[in-house]
């Protein structure tokens, strides 16, 4: 295991940014930057041993300063949508950025993927880790509480990218952290992922209104195009005349994971039969957002001049349910003052 680092350029404000690359004995490489604690690349072998980057993104920090799609992004203080861009804690209403119509999306106009983080790195025989940390001050983005945040990315010899989120607040607040990497197992520049096969361990999903805010219903996936309990091609039902798919223009839905919630468990899998690559997702969070990049428009300045289009990637965003802070029947993302938020997500790569 080894960690190398090099300059990733300077921000528009002239601040130097570093690129950290973790490499294991199998040749898998994960590159990260302290700008936004973003994942820049994930290079893994196919069934023939050919290496490719399976994570959409940019070659320079300037791309991540814009990054409208959120490629590789560390998302916070609250991932996904909050209806009406407001919530209430202890009788007080907190107003947030309305950056998605009348709603709040991924924390607001300036998400956690737009700050420079303090960094520490660790190497061992079988694991290499880079830890990014910062203080999110009280009322940043409109959220209460000074929140000490740490996100640690670790690469193992089992080709696992382990992400651990830790946070502590000095006031009651809400916290819902995730990663927004866009995966294409054929390679970041390979085009459509509609032939990738997806499996999700979920009997229910949370349908939404036209603004993609959950209604509060937990709907059985049986007999619907939302059912991924048996692996199927992502494109098999994506254009079905089914209201949730019509509203979102494809898959952009939270799945209610069928797990204990006390351990890190396997919750999803994606296979690309063309390359032979397989991605497994493990988490201890109650939900996962399956997003088929429906809103991805041609992106400039992407890696090696690649052109990314709609449905050229898939996101698996482990999370509390969207708008859970306003729907009491959903698992709560409330973090009490002095209590620790601690969650783990693992992206494991292999071949079939």
Residue 326 CA to residue 152 CA, distance in Å, equals 29
Check if 118 is active-site. no
Asked if 335 and 167 touch (Cβ cutoff 8 Å), the reply is yes
Check if 317 is active-site. yes
3-state secondary structure of 163: strand
- Catalytic residue, candidates 78, 180, 188, 196: 180
Residue 150 CA to residue 160 CA, distance in Å, equals 19
Strand-pair category, 29-33 with 16-23: antiparallel
3-state secondary structure of 78: strand
Cα 126–chain centre separation: 25
| CB atoms near residue 90 (< 10 Å) | 8
3-state secondary structure of 30: strand
- Per-residue DSSP letters for 247-305? HHTS-EEEEEE-S-SSS-EEEEEEEETTTTEEEEEEESSSEEEEE--TT-PPPSSBGGG
Rounded-to-5 percentages of helix, strand, coil across the chain: 10, 45, 45
| CB atoms near residue 310 (< 10 Å) | 15
Instruction: Tell me the CB-side half-sphere exposure of residue 212, using CA atoms within 13 A.
Output: 22
Residues serving a catalytic function are 180, 317
């Amino acid at each position: 295991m080894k960690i190398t680092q090099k300059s990733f350029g300077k921000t528009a404000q002239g601040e130097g940014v570093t690129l950290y690359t973790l490499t294991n004995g199998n040749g898998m490489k994960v590159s990260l930057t302290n700008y936004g604690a973003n994942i820049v690349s994930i290079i893994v072998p196919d069934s023939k041993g050919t290496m490719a980057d399976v994570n959409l993104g940019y070659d320079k920090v300037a791309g991540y300063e814009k990054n409208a799609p959120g490629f590789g992004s560390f998302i916070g203080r609250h991932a996904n949508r909050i209806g009406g861009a407001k919530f209430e804690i202890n009788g007080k209403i907190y107003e947030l950025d309305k950056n998605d119509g009348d709603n709040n999306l991924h924390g607001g106009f300036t998400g956690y993927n737009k700050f420079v983080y303090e960094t520490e790195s660790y190497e061992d025989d079988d694991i290499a880790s880079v830890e990014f940390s910062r203080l999110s001050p009280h009322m940043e983005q409109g959220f209460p509480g000074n929140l000490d945040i740490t996100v640690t990315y670790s690469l193992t010899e089992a080709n696992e990218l382990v992400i651990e989120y830790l946070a502590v607040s000095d006031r009651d607040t809400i916290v819902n952290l995730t990663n927004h990497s866009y995966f294409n197992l054929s390679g970041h520049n390979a085009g459509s992922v509609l032939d990738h096969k997806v499996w999700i361990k979920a009997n229910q999903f949370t349908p939404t209104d036209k603004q993609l805010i959950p209604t509060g219903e937990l709907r059985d996936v049986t007999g619907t195009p939302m059912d991924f309990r048996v692996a199927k091609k992502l494109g098999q039902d994506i254009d079905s005349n089914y209201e949730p798919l019509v509203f979102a223009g494809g898959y952009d839905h939270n799945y209610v994971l069928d797990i204990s919630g006390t351990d890190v468990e396997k919750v999803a899998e994606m296979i690309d039969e063309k390359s032979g690559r397989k991605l497994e997702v493990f988490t201890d969070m109650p939900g996962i957002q399956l997003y088929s990049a429906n809103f991805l428009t041609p992106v400039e300045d992407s890696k090696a001049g690649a052109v990314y289009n709609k449905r050229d990637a898939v996101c698996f965003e482990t999370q509390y349910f969207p708008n859970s802070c306003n729907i009491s029947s959903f698992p709560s993302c409330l973090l009490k003052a002095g209590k620790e938020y601690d969650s783990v997500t693992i992206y494991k790569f292999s071949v079939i």
